[in-house]
Structure 1
Amino acid sequence: MNLSHPVRRLLFVTVLALDEGGARDAFLADAQKYRRELLAHCYRMTGSLHDAEDLVQETYLRAWKSYDNFEGKSSVRTWLYRIATNTCLTALDGRKRRPLPSGLGGPAADPYADLTERHEIAWLEPIPDAPHEDPADPSVIAESRESVRLAFIAALQHLPPRQRAVLVLREVLQWKAAEVGEAIGVSTAAVNSLLQRARAQIDEVSPSRDDQPVAPESPEAADTLAQYMAAFESYDMDRLVELFTADAVWEMPPFDSWYSGPADIIALSKNHCPAEKPGDMRFLTTTANRQPVAAMYMRNPQTDAHEAFQLHVLDMTTAGVAHVVAFMDVSLFAKFGLPEAL
C-alpha cells in the first residue's frame, strides 16, 4: 500500500489503532475469568470486601492501560496478580490495619457493661463464598492452600503491607521467592527475610486450638448451625450455652468489646439484645470465608417485619461453636445477596 498520500496514511493509522484497541479489549475480556481469585487476593491484602472490589477494578484498569507493555514472559494470571499486589500496596500506604474487636489489644469485656460503638475504626469485613465453585478452578485451589477463614485474615492484618504481600504470594499462591521479589521490586534475600518475619508474627497472633475446624458443607456443621439458629429463634439461651466451646469468643463490630466463654456470651445476649421473646429473631443461611453464616433478622415492633440486623460468621470446631463475629453492618446483606427484610 502506498502511504505517501496523507489521507491513506491517516486511514492506516486509524485501522491500526482500532485493531490494537480491539485486541486490548479482547485480552481483558478473557482476563475476566480471574476476577474472583483476584478479589480474594485483594481481600486478603486489605481485609475489606468493599476495598477489594474497588482494587480489582483498579487492577483491570491498570492492565488495560499497560497492555502494550505485556510481553508474555509470564502468564496473564501472574501478570494480573503482580498488578493487583502493587495496587494493594499503594492503597495500603499510610492506612491503619482493619481489626476485629479482639485484635485491639484489650481484655475480654464485662457483658453487663455499656456497649461502645467505634464507627471511626475501619473494621475487618467478611467475604461471601463464590456460589457453585468448581474444585478445579484456580481460585478455589489457591484458597484451599491457605484458608480465607476470618482468623487468618485477621492475623494477616497485623502484618505490615509488604510482609503481608510476601506471605500471601509465597504461601497462598506458592510463588517462588524470585517471582515475589520481581513482583514487588525487592531482592530474593529481602523476600526471604520478610517471609521469616511474617511467619513469626502470624504464629504470635494466630489462635491456637486443639480441635479441628468443621467444613461448612459438612453434616456436622449443618446440624450445629440449625441448633444455633433454633435456640435464638425460640429464645432458648440455656440451649445456646451447650453449643459453645468453653473458651468461645463473641464479638460484634462496630462495638469495640469482645466476650469470652458461654456464660458471658449469654449474659451479653440477655442484657443487650433487643429481642425479648420467641419469634423476634429469624435467620437465613449462607457462607463466608469458608465458614457457616447465620444472617439474623430482628422483628421491628412498629412494622412487625423482620429486618436485617447481624451477619453471624461462625467458626465451628469438632467441640462446638468456637468463635462468632456478628457483623452489624447491614449493607453487607446486599453483598451476600440477602434481602433487607423478611
Structure 2
Amino acid sequence: MSADTRRKRPSETRLDEVDEPAFSELAEQYRRELHVHCYRMLGSFEDAEDTVQETFLRAWRRRETFEGRSTFRAWLYRIATNACLDRLARHRPEPATGGEVLWLQPYPDHLLDELPTGEADDPETVAVARETVELAYLVAVQHLAPRPRAVLILRDVLGWPAKDVAEHLGDSVNSVNSALQRARAGMREHLPAERQDWTGGEQDAATRELVRRYTEASVATDIGALAALLRDDVRCSMPPTPGLYVGREAVVRDWVESGFEGMTGLRAVPASVNRQPAVAFYLWQSEEGAYLPLTLDVLRVTGGAISEIVTFHGDRFPPLGLPDRLPADGTQ
C-alpha cells in the first residue's frame, strides 16, 4: 500500500485493501478511548482489556463491512459495544445484596490522561468532564440491564444521536428512547443524591488537606482521628470481598473488629484513580525486608468530609502503575 493511501482518512479507504500493519495503526489511535468505553460498560479494567482486543480482532476480520457511511471511529465503537453486550450475555454478574459491584476495578488517572483532548465539545472530553469514570457512576451503571446500559453510554456519555444508536444496535429509535428513559431512571436510583456536590477534576486545597489527614491517621491507625473525617452516612466497601458498611458507627466497628487499630508497619503513597483521590497502603514484611502492597483506598469527598471509601486489594497495584514494594527507608 502506498504512503498516500496510508494517509487517507479511514472513511475514504477500502479497508479490505489495507494490510494488517496499516489497519492496526489506524485502530490503535482509538485504543484508550475504546478501553474506557468498555470499562464503563463492564466495570472491570481487565475485562475491558480483553474486550478491546476482541474488538480489534473482529474489526480486522470484518473490515470489508466498513462502507464509509460512518466514521472509522464510530464503526469501532459499534463493534466494541456489541462485544461488550456479547460478553454480558455470556456472563452478566449481579450486584451483591447490599448493592456492591464485586467485579469493580479502579482505573488509573495517568491512563485517562491519554484520552484525546479534541475540541471543547468533543464527546470524550465532555464525558470525562461529567465524571462518568468516577466509581459511583460505574457502580450505578452496572445495575442497569446491558442494553439500556449501552444506550445510556452511547447517548449520554458519547453524545450520539438516537438515530445513530438505533442503527448501531439494530433497534428502532422508539426502542432506543424508551431504553434511555429506563436507564436514566435507574441511574437516579443508584447515584448519590448529592452528586452535584462532589464533582471531581482538580482537587481543591480543602480536599487535599482532608486526604492528607486521612493518610496520616491511617498510617497511625488512629481510628478516632479517622472517624472525625467521615460523614455520618459514609459508605465503605472492598470489592471483590462482599460486604457494605453504611454509617460512621458501622464503619468504625468494622475497623475495630478487623484489628486495624494498633496495626504497625504501614506506609502510604498518594494516588489518583477514576478522577478521585486515593491512597495506596503498604505493610512492612520483615521476611522481604520491604513494604509490600496492602490496599488502595479510593475516597469520595462530599461537603468537606469523606462520604465513601472503596478499598481495593493489593493485586490492583500493578495496573495502576504503583510500586510493587517500598524499601525499608520508605522511599519509592
1:163 aligns with 2:141: no
Aligned mates of 1:122, 1:205 — CA distance in 2: 16
Aligned residue number for residue 187 of structure 1: 172
- Of 196, 200, 206, 1:220 maps to 206
AA aligned to 1:331 is D
Of 225, 233, 237 in structure 2, the residue corresponding to residue 251 of structure 1 is 237
Question: 134, 137, 140: which is aligned to 1:149?
Answer: 134
Q: Per-residue CA shift, 1:26-45, capped at 9, x if unaligned?
A: 24313312111111110111
Tell me which residue corresponds to 1:67.
63
Tell me the equivalent position of 1:239: 225
Q: Which residue is 2:329 aligned to?
A: none
In the TM superposition, 1:20-99 aligns within 5 A as 20-22=17-19, 24-97=20-93, 99=95
Structure 2 counterpart of 1:126, from 106, 126, 130: 106
Contact in 2 for aligned 1:214/1:318 (Cα 8 Å): no
Structure 2 contact 281–296 (Cα < 8 Å) conserved = yes
The Cα offsets for residues 210-269 of structure 1, whole Å up to 9 and x where unpaired, read as 771153532232221111111111222211112111111111123322112223322222
The equivalent position to 1:199 in structure 2, one of 184, 188, 198, is 184
**Partner-residue secondary structure (3-state), 2:29:** helix
CA distance in 1, matches of 2:201, 2:65: 43
Q: Cα–Cα, structure 1 residues 335 and 171, in superposed 2: closer, same or farther, change >3 Å?
A: same
What amino acid is aligned across from residue 124 of structure 1 in structure 2?
A: L
2:323 paired residue number:
339
Q: Give per-residue Cα distances to partners, 1:297-328, cap 9 Å, x unaligned.
A: 12235545321111111111223111001112
Structure 1 gaps of 5+ residues are 1-18, 105-120
| Cα offset, 1:180, TM superposition | 0.4
Aligned-residue RMSD, C-alpha: 2.3
Q: Which residue of 2 aligns with 1:14?
A: none
Query: 2-side partners of 1:30 and 1:174: how far apart?
Result: 23
User: What is the Cα deviation at residue 331 of structure 1?
Assistant: 2.2
Provide closer, same or farther for how the CA distance between residues 152 and 335 of structure 1 changes in structure 2, counting only shifts above 3 A: same
| Alignment check: 8 A CA contact 1:100 1:154 kept | no
AA at the equivalent of 2:17: E
Aligned counterparts of 1:323 and 1:38: Cα–Cα separation in 2: 28
- TM-score between the two structures when normalised by the length of structure 2: 0.84
Q: 1:29 to 1:89 in 2, by over 3 A?
A: same
Hey, what does 2:330 align to over in structure 1? none
CA deviations over 1:111-131 (Å, ceiling 9, x no partner): xxxxxxxxxx95222222235
8 A Cα contact 2:276 2:299, kept in partner: yes
The CA deviation at 1:157 is 1.0
For the residues of structure 1 that align with 2:292 and 2:318, how far apart are their CA atoms?
13
Alignment of 1:176 with 2:161, yes or no, is yes
Choose the corresponding residue for 2:262, options 266, 276, 279: 276
Q: For the residues of structure 2 that align with 1:274 and 1:240, how far apart are their CA atoms?
A: 12
Distance 1:240 1:216 in 2: 24
- Higher Cα Rg: structure 1 or 2? 1
Specify the code of the residue in structure 2 equivalent to 1:103: G
Which structure 2 residues correspond to residues 298-313 of structure 1 after superposition, within 5 A?
A: 298-300=283-285, 302-303=287-288, 305-313=290-298
Check the 8 A contact 1:252/1:327 in 2, yes or no: yes
SS of match in other structure, 1:324: strand
Q: Is the 8 A contact 2:126 2:157 kept in 1?
A: no
Q: After alignment, is 67-76 or 92-101 more displaced?
A: 92-101
Quick one: distance in 1 between partners of 2:196 and 2:79?
38
CA distance in 2, matches of 1:135, 1:33: 9
3-state SS of 2:30 partner:
helix
Please tell me whether the aligned partners of residues 129 and 289 of structure 1 are also in contact (alpha carbons under 8 angstroms).
yes
Q: Secondary structure at the match of 1:103?
A: coil
Instruction: Give % identity.
Output: 40
> Is the contact made by 2:269 and 2:280 (CA closer than 8 Å) also made in structure 1?
yes
- Where has structure 1 moved over 6 Å in runs of 4 or more? none
Secondary structure at 2:110 match in 1: coil
Following superposition, the deviation at residue 292 of structure 1 comes to: 1.1
Q: Give, in angstroms, the shift of residue 90 of structure 1.
A: 0.7
SS at 2:308's partner residue? strand
Say which of 289, 292, 309 aligns to 2:274: 289
Aligned length: 305
CA distance in 2, matches of 1:148, 1:318: 20
